């Protein structure tokens, strides 16, 4: 693991939350993106070498819609940057973590991603991500 790449925050209304976080951080998101594979719309704010990702559900069966229904808005996941996601997935699987996919998938912000089930990580959803070069 190299660093915390971003914190994901589940929000009900991306436009309103973009305004809120623009005021809070003193700068606008550098990117907004619809990620069809995850049923989410996202925006990214840079903070030094890390990022905040705001996530709004685009359908009722989105993980973000389910999360907000159950827990309300708030921190949804922590994403760690890795240099070799395949090696890291293999290592974590051998350590007994529960990978939510056997292969990395294409995520937001030009990344290969894989999630670990929160039940085995103290209730925190963990995302691994690797930059696509």
Residues at the site binding ligand CMX, with contacts judged by CB under 6 A: 8, 35, 38, 40, 42, 55, 63-64, 66-67, 70, 76-77, 100, 107-108, 115, 117-118, 123, 125, 127
Measured from each CB, the residue nearest to ligand CMX is 63
Closer CB to ligand CMX, 104 or 107, in the complex: 107
Three state DSSP letters for the chain: CCEEEEEEEECCCHHHHHHHHHHHHCCCCCEEEEEHHHCEEEEEEEECCEEEEEEEECCCCCHHHHHHHHHCCEEEEEEEECCCHHHHHHHHHHCCCCECCCCCEEECCCEEEEEECHHHCCCCCEEEEEECC
Least distance between ligand CMX and beta carbon 18 (Å): 16
Closer CB to ligand CMX, 22 or 78, in the complex: 78
Closer CB to ligand CMX, 94 or 122, in the complex: 122
Least distance between ligand CMX and beta carbon 59 (Å): 12
Question: Residue 131 and residue 82: Cα distance in Å, rounded?
Answer: 8
Closer CB to ligand CMX, 23 or 70, in the complex: 70
């Amino acid at each position: 693991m190299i660093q915390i790449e971003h914190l994901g925050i589940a929000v009900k209304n991306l436009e309103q939350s973009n305004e809120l976080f623009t005021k809070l951080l003193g700068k606008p998101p550098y990117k907004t993106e619809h990620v069809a594979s995850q049923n989410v719309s996202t925006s990214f704010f840079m903070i030094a070498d890390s990022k905040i990702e705001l996530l709004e559900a685009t359908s009722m069966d989105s993980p973000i819609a389910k999360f907000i229904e159950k827990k309300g808005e708030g921190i949804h996941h922590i994403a760690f940057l890795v240099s070799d996601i395949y090696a890291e997935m293999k290592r974590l699987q051998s350590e007994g973590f529960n990978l939510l996919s056997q292969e990395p998938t294409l995520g937001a912000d030009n990344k290969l991603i894989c999630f670990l089930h929160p039940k085995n990580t103290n209730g925190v959803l963990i995302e691994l991500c690797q930059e696509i070069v």
